[in-house]
Copies of this chain bind each other. A is one copy, B any other.
């Protein structure tokens, strides 16, 4: 009888490690592999709390000996990577010492009348992750990412999202035309058109249309907008970060609803 403990990888040529590295470092590899790399205990715990089961738990050797026992009981195979090889695995600026591989969630069904955020070509992973957090906080559980937007399940967007992914219905690779099927008001933000956000009677539910950091919302998406609002910027500078603008808009919707009853 043999006791099969977790596999310890000590060779950079290990096939499983190479696949894992691709998954962790190539921001769109999850689409080919149909599985996702969650790096760090905060994200892994957020996934577990939402009922997600890991396919594989991966630890660096020293983390395994210190904290591995805390993760036993979550199912899934385990893989230990030597401390020497570990730093080559992550694509993050401050790599974590453990992670999960989980199966790609099933594509959700688009709901026509749910509060929605549409991401049109947003490229900065930190901004995208931050917007997902705001969406989860303010009850915009449906997120539609048009082609050209940062890959939602990439390691960097996941880290910035801090677990928000698991409370949202995420639609990737969509076209502007897909947004047209929504049966709710579509609100675009502008720096110089439309009512001021804080004076506007905001429709509920609605979809917020958020555009590329530099170029804004594309013409195709803008043509679908039913409302346009702008954020007052009395300081004289007109250059809010898109994630900041998104947070202000979603907060306004969420609190308008609760005070407008």
Interface centre among A233, A235, A257, A258 (most CB of B within 10 A): A235
In the bound complex, residues from chain B placing their C-beta under 8 Å from that of A257 are 234
CB proximity of A182 to chain B, nearest CB, Å: 19
Judge whether A134 is part of the interface by a CB distance below 8 angstroms: yes
Q: Are A231 and B244 in contact (CB under 8 A)?
A: no
Q: Are B243 and A245 in contact (CB under 8 A)?
A: no
Q: Are A167 and B137 in contact (CB under 8 A)?
A: no
Q: Are A198 and B259 in contact (CB under 8 A)?
A: yes
Q: Are B235 and A130 in contact (CB under 8 A)?
A: no
In the bound complex, residues from chain B placing their C-beta under 8 Å from that of A139 are 234-236
Tally of contact residues, A, Cβ under 8 A: 44
Q: A247 contacts which of B162, B238, B245 (Cβ < 8 Å)? A: B245
In the bound complex, residues from chain B placing their C-beta under 8 Å from that of A126 are 126
* Known pairs A198-B255, A259-B198; A240 contacts B233 (CB<8 A): no
Q: Are A237 and B199 in contact (CB under 8 A)?
A: no
Judge whether A84 is part of the interface by a CB distance below 8 angstroms: no
State the CA gap A237–B239 with chains docked (Å): 28
Q: Are B239 and A254 in contact (CB under 8 A)?
A: no
CB proximity of A201 to chain B, nearest CB, Å: 14
State the CA gap A3–B16 with chains docked (Å): 62
Q: Are B247 and A240 in contact (CB under 8 A)?
A: yes
State the CA gap A254–B126 with chains docked (Å): 26
Contacts A136-B237, A138-B234, A139-B234 known; list 6 others, CB within 8 Å: A160-B241, A232-B254, A232-B255, A235-B254, A241-B247, A244-B246
